[in-house]
Structure 1
Amino acid sequence: MSSITLTVDGEKVNEMPSDITAIFKERREKSIFLNIEYNRIDLNCHFFSEEEIELDISPTGIKDITEVKSLLDFMEILAELLGKSVSISIENDKQVPLITVNKNGEYFTYY
């Protein structure tokens, strides 16, 4: 099960924009927040930069191996859709990823 909620200045938006550039333009003047709930995992996007998509999750939101697998599944889907590698790292430490999934679904693990 998944759901997506876009919030602009604290109010839920009923329709998603068809173009991501509209979100970045609007972000200059408004607070924009996107929440993705994917198989009981909450992923939050704050739209900091057009060059990099950053989603955050709370480690306390991952309670069992099923949720770990769901997170890895989400990373695989995202990597395939974007045609880019997707990594997970400790907050503010993107230079040292814990796990990276490339666009072909191959995993690279770092510690």
Structure 2
Amino acid sequence: MLYQDLVFELEVDGSLRDIYAFKTTVDDWNRLLSLSSSLGKAAYFCDGDEAPLPSTANSIFDDADHSHLLRINLGGLFINTHFFVADEIELDLDPREITSQADLDLVLNFCAKIGQEIKRDIVITPENLPEVIYLCYLADQDKWQRLERP
């Protein structure tokens, strides 16, 4: 994928871009937690306060009384997840942080590593529009596919 070809998908319009893996399990989340420190500098927050990263996602999903955030710093690009539901991994990123081919490559490599680890396709969409897929990482083929623009 070339940065200059994704002007529409990365347009700065005040919204985030979401990264999804669908039909996931708590085991997939556990693999994401295990992988997180190798993806970038990971920080975990509970109710806005930095805390040690839980060893399992079960403890996060069992704790509905608090807000949870995992932020992964890819060297100035921040990818976040709030642990909304166990059956869908949803992460977000700000397209303002993607300003070059190198930035785009960091994001795509990050997504591909997750897809390979959990053996699921990964999609990038507009914020809160999981049905509008801009890019899809096909885990079984280890390749990216750009979908038609809406």
TM-score (norm 2): 0.69
| CA displacement at 1:40 relative to structure 2 | 2.6
CA distance in 2, matches of 1:17, 1:49: 16
Aligned residues: 109
The alignment partner of 1:56 has SS state of: strand
Matches within 5 A, 1:6-85: 6-13=44-51, 15-26=52-63, 28-85=64-121
- Between stretches 39-48 and 49-58, larger displacement belongs to 39-48
* Identical positions, percent: 24
- What letter corresponds to residue 82 of structure 1 in structure 2? I
Deviation by residue 1:23-79 (Cα, 9 ceiling, x = unmatched): 1111x1001111011233100101111110110001101111110111111111010
Structure 1 unmatched ranges of 5 or more: none
- What letter corresponds to residue 21 of structure 1 in structure 2? N
- What letter corresponds to residue 4 of structure 1 in structure 2? A
Task: Tell me the equivalent position of 2:143.
Answer: 106
Structure 2 unmatched ranges of 5 or more: 1-38
Deviation by residue 1:3-36 (Cα, 9 ceiling, x = unmatched): 00100112111x322211111111x100111101
Q: Which runs of 4+ in 1 moved over 6 A?
A: none
RCO higher in structure (CA 8 A, sep ≥6): 2
- What letter corresponds to residue 89 of structure 2 in structure 1? I
